[in-house]
């Protein structure tokens, strides 16, 4: 392996121990091991984010199991894709997965196919939902702004007696809407 070798170990609660994972990662000569004691369902995991910031092309990330990277398939696929895009090798010891082997590259291709399939399904469901809503008479977007509220807000603004914040609170229109109409 070329590049730097990082280990990543995570347990779901503070009361759980990392020692088993650390022993496995130390056996694989990691240059640095980042540890985390928090649930894998949280999107913001500081040590995982720190690891991603440190990574350079040809580095390697070793985990005891895919479950240590994330609880959902989508999160795992996103991370695997992130590593692939940044030319970082990923090794999962439990699943015997290594992105430098032919089997690992095949699995990467399968992960990417599932990721694309999931994106396509989301787009399709969104289009169907919008179409269904239109059929039922629903329109998308924000409701139209009451013209009287706009005129009142402009008048208050030009009087220079009120702050923008006060005008927004009195009229119920947003600050960006007020500025948009003032620019006209």
pTM over 0.75: no
Instruction: Please tell me the distance from the alpha carbon of residue 67 to that of residue 55, in angstroms, as a whole number.
Output: 20
Known catalytic residue at 12? yes
Higher pLDDT, 139 or 30: 30
Q: Which of 2, 12, 72, 115 is catalytic?
A: 12
Q: How far apart are the first and last CA of the chain?
A: 62
Instruction: Please tell me the distance from the alpha carbon of residue 140 to that of residue 37, in angstroms, as a whole number.
Output: 42
SS3 88: coil
Of the candidates 114, 119, 117, 47, the residue with the CA atom closest to the CA atom of residue 80: 114
What's the distance, CA 167 to chain centroid? 36
Boundaries of every domain in the chain = 5-114, 147-182
What digits encode the pLDDT tens for the residues 143-182?
788 899 999 999 999 999 999 999 999 999 999 999 998 8
Beta strand 5-11 with 32-37 is parallel
Instruction: Please tell me the distance from the alpha carbon of residue 106 to that of residue 24, in angstroms, as a whole number.
Output: 25
State yes or no: pLDDT of 137 exceeds 90: no
pLDDT averaged over every residue in the chain? 87
Length of the chain measured in residues: 184
Instruction: Please tell me the distance from the alpha carbon of residue 118 to that of residue 95, in angstroms, as a whole number.
Output: 23
State yes or no: pLDDT of 1 exceeds 60: no
State yes or no: pLDDT of 77 exceeds 70: yes
**In CATH, 5-114 is 3.10.20.310:** no
33 near 7, Cβ under 8 Å?
Answer: yes
Per-residue pLDDT, 140: 78
pLDDT band at residue 14 under the 50/70/90 scheme: confident
């Amino acid at each position: 392996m070329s590049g730097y070798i990082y280990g990543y170990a995570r347990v779901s609660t503070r009361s759980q121990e990392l020692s088993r994972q650390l022993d496995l990662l130390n056996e694989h000569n990691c240059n640095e091991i980042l540890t985390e004691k928090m649930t894998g369902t949280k999107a913001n995991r500081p040590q995982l984010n720190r690891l991603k910031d440190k990574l350079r092309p040809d580095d390697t990330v070793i985990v005891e199991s895919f479950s240590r990277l994330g609880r959902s398939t989508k999160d795992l696929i996103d991370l695997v894709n992130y590593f692939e895009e940044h030319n970082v090798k990923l090794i999962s010891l439990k699943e015997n997965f290594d992105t430098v082997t032919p089997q690992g590259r095949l699995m990467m291709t399968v992960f990417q196919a599932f990721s694309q399939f999931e994106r396509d399904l989301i787009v399709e469901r969104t289009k169907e939902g919008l179409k269904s809503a239109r059929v039922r008479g629903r329109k998308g977007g924000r409701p139209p702004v009451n013209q009287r509220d706009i005129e009142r807000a402009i008048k208050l603004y030009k009087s220079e007696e009120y702050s923008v914040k006060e005008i927004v609170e009195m009229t119920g229109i947003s600050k960006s809407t007020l500025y948009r109409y003032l620019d006209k």
